[in-house]
């Protein structure tokens, strides 16, 4: 008998469907060992060695798995293929007292019969570099939490916590709120004119005065705006330019973790935590590929299947672009999975056997993947320039038109497209000025961060990794440091502002964006076997 161990019961159930009677598939229910609660659990004097314990609540499960492992001819560790999954596999060996020689490590990006069969045929050893990178992250986060949290208890109040990455996220939110409070709105005006041509109208916006391009703040008062508007209204108008050109809109790459979370937030109103919960269920049920990834790569089998489906169901013109490959900017060569995609592209949102919010996430993933394999959407853009000769100068106004010629990927990826049809006119043609109107504007402060924009900025700064965005966002809310306003945007609470101020004053490196990004890069170096984790923690 061969014992296969995975993290969750759902994953175990799915995998067991693809293996024969010689295999028993069990779940570890996540981590079997961790640093102890209530004390540091890291020996700072002895090279930062961690002291791992088996939590009391899972000791029965450990005992049961030990018995299964003792009876098995071999143990197969089938945890997720990322740093945390590698660490879970490594901890399993130690918790179950399994000799590494009697254990095999298998990895896969999707839970399908072919993928599991291929993984069983190609086992490997546990990647100690990935384990070390995860250990370094866990130990540094424990050191920060256990050393700084008591400082906050003493200076502010008990029960507060300081986390290495959560504190940077809090700082970003607090600094944005400070920008908003310090913002002073600036007034400016724009002018539009409505022209007539053969019973049709053209609405155009003022762009130049006497050949000089106007910047946004050129017209600062209502009086100046009305003076220009009145002059345009009394002037003589003629068309000086008509330019038509073809433009395209290209499909976005398939999802990675961050873009899935951001899109689910903006389109569905889902939190990152909720998105990942349903994505995890879809993955463990065999419906999508692994959902924690920073790679936009796609297998040739998946793109070929997409091309076939598109040709059969939408027509040859929608399939001619496939297969399409995408390249990402990931530095994590050790963790370059495929993008998040349906395991079987022919299983559409209409035919998949899931419901509710899980279906909404699947539909998003399926649409994005299919769209990535489809042709560009094409448009005809028209720009008409109208010159008005007034008593106070020459005004150039510009009208923009846009008509879709071919929907391409937009066939499956719903997007707001504003089409604007302009009348057929020619250069030199005279127009009547029907009206000229002014519009007042004020500059607006930078918006507060929502989940989508916060994840985007964390990703741009290189803070956190695919598996950490959702926990970061959850913890700063759970601690009461931030709340969401009616627009689902983050507002720092008073205690969050105080915690940020205290940490920024006394521990500036800990909340420094670049310092935190550099730490992430060092974790990557450990994962790639370049840096020693003991040394990295010591320097930190």
Dihedral angle of Cα 216, 217, 223, 224, to the nearest 10 degrees: -80
Give the separation between CA 227 and CA 491, rounded to whole angstroms: 42
| Three-class secondary structure of residue 348 per DSSP | coil
Which member of 283, 290, 395, 469 is catalytic? Answer: 290
List, edge to edge, every strand of the sheet that includes 2-6: 23-27, 2-6, 74-77, 103-105
Give the separation between CA 239 and CA 425, rounded to whole angstroms: 8
Q: Are strands 236-249 and 377-390 parallel, antiparallel or unpaired?
A: antiparallel
Closest CA to 466 of 328, 372, 302, 298: 328
**Burial grade of 212 (CB within 10 A; 0-12, 13-18, 19 or more):** exposed
Tracing tokens 């499960």 back to the chain, one arrives at 61
Residue 488 DSSP code: S
Give the separation between CA 257 and CA 292, rounded to whole angstroms: 5
Which tokens belong to 361? 């996430």
Judge whether 318 counts as a catalytic residue.
Answer: no
| Three-class secondary structure of residue 445 per DSSP | coil
Tracing tokens 């839970």 back to the chain, one arrives at 111
Handedness of CA 67, 70, 76, 82 (dihedral sign): positive
Give the separation between CA 46 and CA 132, rounded to whole angstroms: 17
| Three-class secondary structure of residue 379 per DSSP | strand
Which tokens belong to 416? 């707001």
Dihedral angle of Cα 355, 360, 366, 369, to the nearest 10 degrees: -160
**Burial grade of 276 (CB within 10 A; 0-12, 13-18, 19 or more):** buried
| Three-class secondary structure of residue 74 per DSSP | strand
Q: Which residues are known catalytic residues?
A: 290
């Amino acid at each position: 008998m061969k014992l296969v161990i995975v993290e969750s019961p759902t994953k175990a159930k799915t995998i067991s469907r693809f293996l024969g009677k010689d295999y028993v598939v069990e779940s570890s229910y996540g981590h079997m060992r961790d640093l102890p609660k209530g004390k540091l659990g890291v020996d700072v004097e002895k090279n930062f060695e961690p002291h791992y314990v088996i939590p009391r609540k899972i000791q029965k499960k450990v005992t049961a798995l030990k018995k299964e492992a003792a009876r098995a001819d071999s143990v197969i560790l089938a945890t997720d293929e990322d740093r945390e999954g590698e660490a879970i596999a490594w901890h399993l060996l130690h918790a179950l007292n399994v000799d590494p020689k009697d254990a095999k490590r298998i990895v896969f990006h999707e839970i399908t019969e072919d993928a599991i069969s291929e993984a069983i045929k190609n086992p490997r050893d546990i990647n100690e570099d990935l384990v070390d990178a995860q250990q370094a992250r866990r130990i540094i986060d424990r050191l920060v939490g256990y050393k700084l949290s008591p400082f906050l208890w003493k200076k502010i109040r008990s029960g507060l916590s300081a986390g290495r990455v959560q504190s940077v996220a809090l700082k970003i939110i607090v600094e944005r709120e400070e920008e908003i409070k310090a913002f002073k709105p600036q007034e400016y005006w724009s002018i539009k004119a409505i022209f007539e041509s053969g019973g049709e109208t053209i609405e155009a916006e003022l762009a130049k005065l006497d050949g000089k391009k106007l910047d946004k703040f050129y017209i600062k008062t209502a009086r100046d705006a009305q003076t220009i508007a009145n002059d345009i209204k009394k002037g003589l108008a003629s068309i000086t330019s008509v330019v038509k050109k073809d433009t395209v809109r290209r499909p976005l790459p398939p999802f990675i973790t961050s873009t899935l979370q951001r899109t689910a937030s903006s389109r569905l109103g889902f939190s990152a935590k909720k998105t990942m919960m349903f994505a995890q269920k879809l993955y463990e049920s065999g419906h999508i590929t692994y959902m924690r990834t920073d790679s936009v790569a796609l297998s040739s089998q998946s793109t070929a299947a997409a091309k076939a489906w598109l040709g059969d169901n939408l027509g040859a013109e929608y399939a001619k672009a496939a297969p399409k490959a995408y390249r990402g900017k990931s530095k994590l060569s050790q963790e370059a999975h495929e993008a998040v995609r349906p395991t079987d592209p022919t299983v559409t949102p209409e035919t998949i056997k899931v419901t509710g919010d899980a279906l909404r996430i699947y539909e998003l993933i399926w649409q994005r993947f299919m769209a990535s394999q489809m042709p560009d959407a094409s448009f005809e853009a028209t720009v008409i320039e109208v010159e008005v000769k007034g008593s106070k100068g020459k005004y150039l106004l510009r009208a923009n038109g846009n008509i879709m010629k071919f929907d391409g990927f937009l066939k499956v990826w719903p997007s707001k497209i504003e089409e604007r049809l302009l009348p057929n006119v020619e250069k030199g043609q005279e127009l009547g000025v029907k009206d000229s109107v002014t519009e007042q504007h004020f500059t607006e402060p930078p918006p507060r961060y929502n989940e989508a924009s916060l994840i985007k900025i964390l990703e741009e700064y290189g803070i956190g990794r695919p598996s950490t965005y959702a926990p970061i966002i959850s913890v700063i809310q759970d601690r009461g440091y931030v709340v969401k306003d009616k627009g689902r945007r983050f507002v720092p609470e008073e205690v969050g502002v105080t915690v940020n101020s205290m940490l920024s004053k006394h521990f500036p490196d800990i909340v420094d964006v670049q310092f935190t990004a550099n730490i992430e890069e060092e974790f990557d170096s450990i994962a790639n076997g370049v840096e020693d984790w003991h040394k990295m923690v010591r320097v930190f």
